[in-house]
Structure 1
């Protein structure tokens, strides 16, 4: 018992020393993030400030266009849409929030970081903007958030989802392949310890593993992502955020069935397309293969073989090509 207590004391001391020696995180030191933040807004969700980008800041005609809700992935933020923004804004009024616990939004210590809570937050945001119908493009954990949105659409929520485009994400828990590090980070106590003792360089390295061989991020780009992740982060943030992996298994039937039901059973079916970077080790071509097996009339597009997980960063041009082709098809 004494040895265990000594180990805990040494561990806590090590964490405190690491915190004292680590410079304060300031993502605003990067011009890209600074400019993105200046163009954003905040709204209040249960007392927590939530950052979101609204294209009507730059586009005076935005409110006359159909709305596109852009949902980012884990562990990044709404700035992931930056390289697609200009083209998207030509046709859409774009809304891109940072989920609670992500990016420039609040990261409370005590909060239930569930997919259901994230959808509750986004519902309140859209309601505050008086937006009752919208299209969705979603990446990674954003695809899971969208699946809950689709399930709620079946439950007759007071809004209309007009279409959905999924980018690489763990739509099916049986086919999703998280790294061991991701599994450890969601584990109680172990996840907290790892967040606080691992050097940030390891988080950067792990993030770069899911990019394609020729689309790896520069060190500055990785620093930008990691700064936004850990900015104002509580000691237990990653352990809490990673629990969406467990939720996917628990709610598997609700969320997978929603994709089929909204396309086949509703009076006004919701068209859906999946655009995928096949090189992605966690949710690449194997997700597309599973999608084609169990989704009725699957609409899927594969990008070049060397494109990985972050298709909106690695190949925005072709991702946009397939996205706009989809919208041209459903508008005719």
Structure 2
């Protein structure tokens, strides 16, 4: 099942009903707690929203996928905050970051924004954990700021030969045509649609996308004409390939890298993980999650935490 079908999948409602959803009260409390703890950093790039858990000199940076935001990493943050100062920002053009019109939303600009955010927060070097388009930004950040990266955990994400993936071409076309925000806005009035299309395409258990979670992800993307335009601009910036030409540079990196991969993802398959495993001299190998789809990180935070601790040697 491909991401290009995420707005028109048929029959996935049966899959959504196969597993009981989280209790609405629990999900609402979880989202409310995350919202209440949200912080903002005033940067030249805009007002960047981020979550922070834990303290100490050692920091970890969590980079989310699209169309999600830092809420994707809530489970991992809770489990790893005793080992690292965990920082999870919302990318420019996604989530709750407030970005001025005209600001570039390209992956290279996102990498520079992260460096500025870390400077603002007084965080030096970091262990990076990344997903989806956040993985593309992580690779660029590694090349631009190699002295700031201790380790890299990549989960289902772009690689140079597969960026942007052909499977999301219809999504990119909607962004170019200015209709992606309208389709996303439908999730707010029809939560079942969100679960049976988007949810079924990228989650093992789409029923875990409660109404509260859908609201938390989708609402900011369509909250104003500017945010709608930036939602489109974020996707438009995914093409041409932002990773073109980086392979030879990544081959010279000595940073420890671990791939933790959802093996049921039809966008970024295990072949992409194997490419990264062969690419990085410091590769620590691949852990495949058989039932995991693109955004398995949200559903299996214990696995993320387990592999992070191994990579960080804590």
Structure with more relative contact order (C-alpha pairs < 8 Å, separation 6 or more) = 2
Q: Which digits, 9 at most, give the CA deviation of each residue in 1:246-305, with x for residues without a partner?
A: 14x254212x33432212xxxxxx111111011111113231233345444643323332
Return 5+ residue gaps in structure 2 as ranges.
1-26
Q: 1:34 to 1:303 in 2, by over 3 A?
A: same
2:168 & 2:302 partners in 1: Cα distance?
A: 28
Question: Which position in structure 2 is the counterpart of 1:26?
Answer: none
Question: Which position in structure 1 is the counterpart of 2:8?
Answer: none
Conservation of the 8 A alpha-carbon contact between 2:261 and 2:288: yes
Please say which of residues 70-79 and 36-45 is displaced more in the overlay. Answer: 36-45
Question: Which position in structure 2 is the counterpart of 1:5?
Answer: none
Conservation of the 8 A alpha-carbon contact between 1:69 and 1:134: yes
Are 1:257 and 2:259 matched, yes or no? Answer: no
1:238 & 1:204 partners in 2: Cα distance?
A: 20
Q: Which has the larger radius of gyration?
A: 1
Conservation of the 8 A alpha-carbon contact between 1:30 and 1:224: no
Return 5+ residue gaps in structure 1 as ranges.
1-28, 264-269
Q: Which digits, 9 at most, give the CA deviation of each residue in 1:2-59, with x for residues without a partner?
A: xxxxxxxxxxxxxxxxxxxxxxxxxxx954333212212211122721111122xxx4
Please say which of residues 73-82 and 166-175 is displaced more in the overlay. Answer: 166-175
Report matched runs for 1:44-193 at 5 Å: 44-46=42-44, 48-55=46-53, 59=54, 62-63=55-56, 65-154=57-146, 159-174=147-162, 176-187=165-176, 190=177, 192-193=178-179
Please say which of residues 212-221 and 304-313 is displaced more in the overlay. Answer: 212-221
TM-score of the two chains, using structure 2 as the length reference = 0.79
RMSD of Structure 2 on Structure 1 (CA): 2.6
1:212 & 1:303 partners in 2: Cα distance?
A: 15
Q: 1:324 aligns with which of 299, 309, 312?
A: 309
Conservation of the 8 A alpha-carbon contact between 2:221 and 2:231: no
Q: 1:174 to 1:125 in 2, by over 3 A?
A: closer
How much does 1:313 deviate? 1.0
Are 1:218 and 2:209 matched, yes or no? Answer: yes
How much does 1:101 deviate? 1.6
Conservation of the 8 A alpha-carbon contact between 2:204 and 2:296: no
SS at match of 1:179: helix
Conservation of the 8 A alpha-carbon contact between 1:54 and 1:96: yes
SS at match of 2:290: coil
Question: Which position in structure 2 is the counterpart of 1:285?
Answer: 270
Q: 1:32 to 1:109 in 2, by over 3 A?
A: farther
How much does 1:149 deviate? 1.0
Conservation of the 8 A alpha-carbon contact between 1:51 and 1:98: yes
Conservation of the 8 A alpha-carbon contact between 1:83 and 1:313: yes
TM-score of the two chains, using structure 1 as the length reference = 0.75
